[in-house]
Chain A
Amino acid sequence: MSEQTLEIPCNIPADAVNPVEPFLRMDRMPHIWCPGCGIGTTVNCFTRALIDSHANLDKVAIVSGIGCTGRVAGYANLDSFHTTHGRAIPFATGLKLANPELQVVVYSGDGDLFAIGGNHFIHAARRNMDLKVICVNNLTYAMTGGQTAPTTPSKVISATNPYGVFEPAFNLVALAEAAGASYVARWTTFHVKQLSRSMEEVLRKKGFCFIEVISPCPTLYQRRNKMGDGLDTMKYYKQASKIRHGAPTAECDLTKSGEIVVGKFVDRDRPSYFEMLNSQMTETLGDRYAEPEVMCEQC
């Protein structure tokens, strides 16, 4: 998506070939994504957010599940984990509990996070576990050939619903809010600036943060539904999306070709899992409680 390439940030050395290179495993290029796929765009935005947040990259870990989006972990030049289908969040939970100073980012697909992994998502949000969850929502199980996911809107044609989807889809932002997330935003791959800003914001925020990125899968979803290529989808996103910060998430349902409400919907402060743990234990045990020291200094 050439029209969407990011401006080169000013704090990059002049001899760097491409500003995103230091953040990617260039020895693993070319990547597997199809031409026009939105996943790469989101990775560009994430890279930009890492640059702008001045995060210590040795302390950022990325955890993915399985899927086209799940391959992001393999391309990011960070400590990265490509886990099993649906289990990125519980893996990330363990990582964070064992090493609280890590900034743990979960980067995965809609099917991975909300079908097989849906239960883990709501529980991590409920606990306000300190995870930054980025969901590339291409409205389908892409890697396996475009089957219906819990995010696929009504009427859409998919590999498993050749005559049209009839089950209602999850509204991910409403689900995240209801389950307790501290931060909830939605963008499309057209909104590269806003998306990187959101990503940067959650890298600084405590608690369970969720960003949904509506993204094209031209190879399967767009093709099957005669929605054109990656560029046509950008035009659709541009024309159909409406920025409404703070919009009630219940009003943000997605449909096959209707309006896409984007923006930051939730930004609240709830006690994090660690804070709740410490406060409850201190209240009950008083002096006898020692905060967990799970990091082994010698190892």
Chain B
Amino acid sequence: MEDELAASITIQGAVWGGAKAFTVTSGPGFSLMMEHIGYAAMTETPCVFVDVQRGGPSTGLPTLPAQADMMQARWGSHGDYGIIALCPNSPQECFDLAITAFNLSEEFRVPVMLMLDECVGHMTEKVIIPDAAAIDVYPRRFTHLPPGEFRLFEPREDKVPDMVRAGDGYRFHVTGLTHDERGYPSMNVDTQRSSVTRLLEKLQPFTGERALSETADLEDAEVVVVSYGITSRVAQRAIDLARQKGVRAGKFRIISAWPFPEKHIAALAPKVKAMVVPELNLGQMVHEVERAAAGRCKVRLVPHAGGTVHNPEAILKAILEAAE
């Protein structure tokens, strides 16, 4: 395609044509895709956006790492809507979570963001690719109803509607305007409330039971390092060093960053002295951690403006100070 604006809407045409589709970009292109991330959310088009985060704003640091698009991934398009965002920390996870991203996009009919950083994006490591038969694929939930009975935006019990494909005789209508269950423009207060509310509510499971995370050493932890992406690997070194120094540090690695796993953080907060949040930005996900912890433990940001990863010593220092 000629640019990211085009790519981000081309994939959606492909999805309504019956394919699974994704697009890949970095900061400036991600900014251009925002309009169509909103379109995908509004039209409940299952698709995947991969953003390999570089230092920003604007052209910033092409080909150097950052994690400063996290809030943009969640809030970048105008209006109220929800998305799912996943943060791999290795080439293997890029592979595995790409599959998960497609599966979740189909299950919830949402755009799913795969939020890499340049370090993970350009890294070369061993990747084990399973047999195709061993890969779980969530098939598109095509309706079983015949044309005439089917309503494109009529939610099932899980608040997610079934899909159809162009050319199958349904003569359906898709619009970015606020629409009713038939998909027809219905620009009034009631439809706006019910449809936009549903766009957010269908993703509620990710704040708790469906959230993806990786934890270690939480049982006795006094300080928990909350991190994601490449920073989680750097943080692990700091956690190990802290344990060697006798500080009981634990790990909470966020894998699904949006919706934010707030129930897990909220449950952990009263059990620990502090949460330390290193990220390759000047403070983004730390606001979510603070919100979920709600004052029941200290929350400490370890910021980094990007261009490289943290020095593990900086995270260690924060852990040691937080343990005091």
Contacts and interface: CB of A to CB of B under 8 A. Distances in A.
Note whether A and B contact each other (Cβ less than 8 A). Answer: yes
Interface residues of B, number: 6
Interface string A102-120: 0000000000000110100
A115 B59 contact: no
Interface residues on A, range: under 10
Nearest to B4: A116
A115 B28 CA distance: 15
A150 B2 contact: yes
A84 B28 contact: yes
A115 B58 contact: no
Interface string A64-108: 001000000000000000101110000000000000000000000
Nearest to A117: B3
Contacts of B3: 85-86, 115-116
Given A85-B28, A85-B59, 11 more contacts: A66-B59, A84-B28, A84-B58, A84-B59, A85-B3, A86-B3, A115-B2, A115-B3, A116-B3, A118-B2, A150-B2
Interface string B1-40: 0111000000000000000000000001000000000000
A85 B59 CA distance: 9
17 contacts: A66-B28, A66-B59, A82-B59, A84-B28, A84-B58, A84-B59, A85-B3, A85-B28, A85-B59, A86-B3, A115-B2, A115-B3, A116-B2, A116-B3, A116-B4, A118-B2, A150-B2
Contacts of A116: 2-4
Nearest to A149: B2
A169 to B, nearest CB: 12
Contacts of B58: 84
Nearest to A118: B2
A104 to B, nearest CB: 21
Contacts of B4: 116
The 9 closest A-B pairs by CB, nearest first: A116-B3, A115-B2, A85-B28, A116-B2, A115-B3, A66-B59, A84-B28, A118-B2, A150-B2
Interface in B51-68: 58-59
A85 B2 CA distance: 12
A66 B58 CA distance: 11
A118 B5 CA distance: 13
B305 to A, nearest CB: 21
